[in-house]
Chains A and B, each alone.
Chain A
Amino acid sequence: MGTIAKIHEMLTTKQCSCTELTKSYLDEIQKSNGELNAYVNVTEEEALKTAETVDKKIASGEEIGLLEGVPMTLKDNLSTKGIETTCCSKILTGYKPIYNATVWDILASQNAVMLGKTNMDEFAMGSSCETSYFGGAANPFNTNHVSGGSSGGVASAVGANIAAYGLGSDTGGSIRQPASFCGIVGLKPTYGSVSRYGLIAYASSLDQIGPITKTVEDASIVFDAISEYDEKDSTSKGCMGGKTFSKLDNDIKGMKIGIAREYLDGVRDDVKEAVLNAAEVYRSLGAEIVYFDLPALKFALPVYYIIACAEASSNLGRYDGIRYGYKTEHYNGTHDMICRTRSEGFGEEVKRRILLGTYVLSAGYYDAYYKKAQNLRGTIVKAFNDAFKHCDVILAPTVPMTAFEMGHAVSDPVETYLTDICTVPVNIAGLPGVSVPCGFNAKGMPIGMQLIGKSFGEAEILNAAYKYQQAAGENFKDTKWGVKL
């Protein structure tokens, strides 16, 4: 498996050069991306240039860092200086940022080899990657199935071994859900632990950047690297809970793992069974399983869609064709130009959410929707705080189902919104959550479970996830695709 540690070892022991390694990833992208559609922009030249730098360092006998020379990818909503960043929307076609997202500044300074930018639902709005202007990314386990969303491209690429790891963003499950669908690990950190500077906003109070990786160790390594305080982001706090890697292997004997009954409501039987089996694994590792009720969860989905859409309607107001990105060809005056640009530049799902968000903030509706949702957000935060009086981490399904077939989500948006039921509470409460593979359904599609932690409790959930991975490694299955190391 092409894990970070494995690649690091290969580079330092000179089993291959970074350039050779990078080329093999680029070759595999070339071969498989037609079918997977994981990448929307391959940055071959930049990748090889960085690889060369790393090779020179190795040749000169300098020590290299763990992430140095490791081929990776970024979701296309993370700003990369001079490299087109589109959020997979027509409206941002041709837009090349003049600055780097803080997370990319951090990784680039460690000579991470970026292979390219990966596919996503347009402006991260969607649960299947299919709202992408470039079409959806396929699931490496079965290409008739979706990769999930919105960070579908990263999950598809990592699952298919055409990137060792990637960074996604998670507003309502956009890291965890595709990780779950693609049988890999996805960590949504605590709100504030990773700088959002340079992440093109969908819903600012919910968005958080995090890693999508093959293993729990890799999630830990990448999280430790990117969780730094950033003065450019007022909501940034840095890694308040401390770095996680050294705590991965801590004994979990006596750890209280909570299961909220509401999280299992309406969940497909195969998923429920896999999650309950995982609970048994934990019991066998000496953890204690406690059941409790979390009735506030029923508010999560409406609260999420009101707040996310409200913020999105404001965040997306700036795309007017004046300064960057797509601009309509024929128009009559400024107002007409802006209207046409937006009508032509945004896809259906984005328009739906802008309209919804505009509506809930409108005079006369603000109190009934937005304000009420904010109050309920407080209720949900409190409910989680209370829950953590009874347990250390919460175990839940990541998604109530496995990856569905392509075309399904587009036909019924409301049913698709319901698939976010298990992931959105974490974003509303600002908590960390990690999705870990925990089995397969009858058709061989991966099932994911979610471990939810206290605020800045990344170390604890990654510790629990790592222990599970050690005990149930058979659930971390590789696919036929990509680079084999």
Chain B
Amino acid sequence: MKYELVAGFETHIELATKTKIFCGCTTQFGGEPNSHCCPVCIGLPGTLPKLNRQAVRYAIMAGLATHGEIAEISKMDRKNYCYPDLSKAYQISQLYAPLSIGGYVELSNGRKIRLHHIHIEEDAGKLIHQHGDTYVDYNRGGVPLIEIVSEPDIRSIDEAREYVEKLQQVMRYIGISDCKMQEGSMRCDVNISVRPVGSETLGTRTEIKNMNSITNITKAMEYEFERQVDLIESGGKVIQETLRYDDATNTTSSMRSKEDAHDYRYFRDPDLVTINVTREEVEEIKAMLPELPADKCRRYIDELAIPEKDAQLLTKYRRISEYFDEACDGVKSPKTVSNFIIGQMFSRTETESDKEIFDVKVTPKQLNELVKLLDSGKIRNNLAKSTLEKMLDTGKGALEFISESDMGGLDENTMIELCRQAIESNPKAVEDYKGGKEKALKALLGNVMKNSRGKADATAAEAKLKELIG
């Protein structure tokens, strides 16, 4: 029997606010243990939380960027559980009335992964095990998070990878998080089940907790898919449980079963008032959102005539797309700009993180000037390409490498003279052309171009050659 994978994601994303969600402490990553703390975020008796409105705005941006409905009234709840990294023995979160409802993430195959909701909550501290003892560091405690909860709409590991990448891309675009999985500012729990292809009912799911890289997510899902299929094939049953993934052994192991599942005793946090979001505020935030990658990609294809594959490459990272947008200002052919970026600049920003930063020596304005020289016919493509390489090496502008005479173009007489010379010195090609070999003309044209150091107008030269040969 063939089996299908069914998965849903719970994705935690740390918001890039300067201060924590309920106090004024910095959210900076790292720092001496317990140095980014105050009475509120270490939960001293008698302290009260005060909601950071910026966290709410960022969460609204996340909701809007994933097509969610922003709730006019949402509330904070307490999720009660006892663990040393949680200083109050409850996490302030949202269950009964989350901030953003519904929405979706669209994949390249056209499928929409529906979102159940997005809620805001606080992060917990961290336990540090050292020399046989356990220590607790509350620096991360109270850092604002959003949790994006998807429906079980994911059907393959490729879709899972793309879903996570898309979320990462969108959240970075709108600037609410750096989504660095290795630093924990983006973490995923995956709910996964299997079922025979064609079946409509959901199988029993397991949940793999806290994965911190896309590689681990895909590996863990591959392993868990196989494990569940093997189990069912051999007559066994999948047990609903929470798993942890061990990347050293590439296996999953049980953290707790359904029977041991926490009863979080959620209830409205009486210390915090209702969060009201007006329609005006939503509209204002919507207007401030940058163009989203999917919209941008569509626009590049439809309006700028960029091939789809190139449009995707240009929009994968916000900085590159912004670079492209700026370099395109007033140019005749955005495709030329795109070709320069993808063809010559990408080879200098090899890794994904290089592309993310996109720190190239040439400014968008400098690239724009180069393309405009090309547009105006003052220089030819070959010269532009080699000039760009020099610019990328040095950070200097195009005019540093292109002389007046390079841009002077070719006067009519010189051009005619060069054509004559080409015909005279290549009698064989002339014969071939006369004999009907269209290609032979290209050889003559190449000769003209070469001798003009790329300055000749190829179309005009070709016409002149035909005229002279008769």
**Chain A residues packing against B (C-beta within 8 Å):** 77-79, 85, 87, 92, 95, 97-99, 101, 196-201, 203-205, 231-235, 310-311, 313-314, 317-318, 320, 322-324, 334, 338, 358, 361-363, 366, 370
Does B265 lie within 8 Å of A361, measured CB to CB? yes
Contacts of B84 on A, CB cut-off 8 Å? 320, 322, 334
Which stretch from B47-55, B111-119, B326-334, B387-395 is at the chain A interface? B47-55
Q: Is B80 engaged at the interface, CB distance under 8 Å to the other chain?
A: yes
| Known A234-B271, A338-B82: A318·B46 in contact at CB below 8 Å | no
Contacts of A310 on B, CB cut-off 8 Å? 267
Q: Is B231 engaged at the interface, CB distance under 8 Å to the other chain?
A: no
* Closest chain A CB from B284 CB (angstroms): 23
Does A234 lie within 8 Å of B50, measured CB to CB? yes
**Chain B residues packing against A (C-beta within 8 Å):** 39, 42-51, 78, 80, 82, 84, 87-90, 134, 136, 263, 265-267, 270-273
9 sample A-B contacts, Cβ–Cβ < 8 Å, listed by A number: A197-B46, A235-B273, A314-B78, A314-B80, A317-B89, A323-B42, A363-B265, A366-B265, A370-B267
| Nearest-CB residue, chain B, relative to A78 | B46
- Pick the contact of B272: A98, A234, A361 (CB < 8 A): A234
Contacts of A203 on B, CB cut-off 8 Å? 270
In the complex, A196→B47 CA distance in Å? 9
* Closest chain A CB from B432 CB (angstroms): 88
Does A362 lie within 8 Å of B270, measured CB to CB? no
- Pick the contact of B45: A201, A205, A366 (CB < 8 A): A201
Does B39 lie within 8 Å of A98, measured CB to CB? yes
In the complex, A98→B136 CA distance in Å? 19
* Closest chain B CB from A261 CB (angstroms): 32
Q: Interface on chain A toward B: helix, strand, loop, or mixed SS?
A: loop
In the complex, A87→B266 CA distance in Å? 26
| Nearest-CB residue, chain B, relative to A92 | B45
Does A199 lie within 8 Å of B46, measured CB to CB? yes
Contacts of B134 on A, CB cut-off 8 Å? 334
- Pick the contact of B263: A197, A318, A322, A362 (CB < 8 A): A362
- Pick the contact of A311: B39, B51, B270 (CB < 8 A): B270
* Closest chain B CB from A315 CB (angstroms): 8
Does A233 lie within 8 Å of B48, measured CB to CB? yes
In the complex, A234→B39 CA distance in Å? 16
In the complex, A196→B270 CA distance in Å? 12
Does A205 lie within 8 Å of B46, measured CB to CB? no
Contacts of B50 on A, CB cut-off 8 Å? 231-234
In the complex, A338→B136 CA distance in Å? 15
Does B88 lie within 8 Å of A317, measured CB to CB? yes
- Pick the contact of A361: B42, B43, B49, B80 (CB < 8 A): B80
Interface centre among A97, A317, A324, A361 (most CB of B within 10 A): A317
Does B46 lie within 8 Å of A234, measured CB to CB? no
In the complex, A358→B266 CA distance in Å? 11
* Closest chain B CB from A127 CB (angstroms): 22
Contacts of A77 on B, CB cut-off 8 Å? 46
Does B89 lie within 8 Å of A196, measured CB to CB? no
> Which 4 pairs show the lowest CB-CB distances between chains A and B?
A317-B89, A205-B270, A361-B265, A204-B270
In the complex, A203→B268 CA distance in Å? 13
Does A200 lie within 8 Å of B136, measured CB to CB? no
Does B80 lie within 8 Å of A324, measured CB to CB? no
In the complex, A318→B87 CA distance in Å? 6
Contacts of A197 on B, CB cut-off 8 Å? 46-48
- Pick the contact of B265: A87, A323, A362 (CB < 8 A): A362
Contacts of A362 on B, CB cut-off 8 Å? 263, 265
Contacts of B46 on A, CB cut-off 8 Å? 77-79, 97, 101, 197-201
In the complex, A79→B46 CA distance in Å? 7
Contacts of A322 on B, CB cut-off 8 Å? 84, 136
In the complex, A94→B60 CA distance in Å? 44
In the complex, A199→B271 CA distance in Å? 12
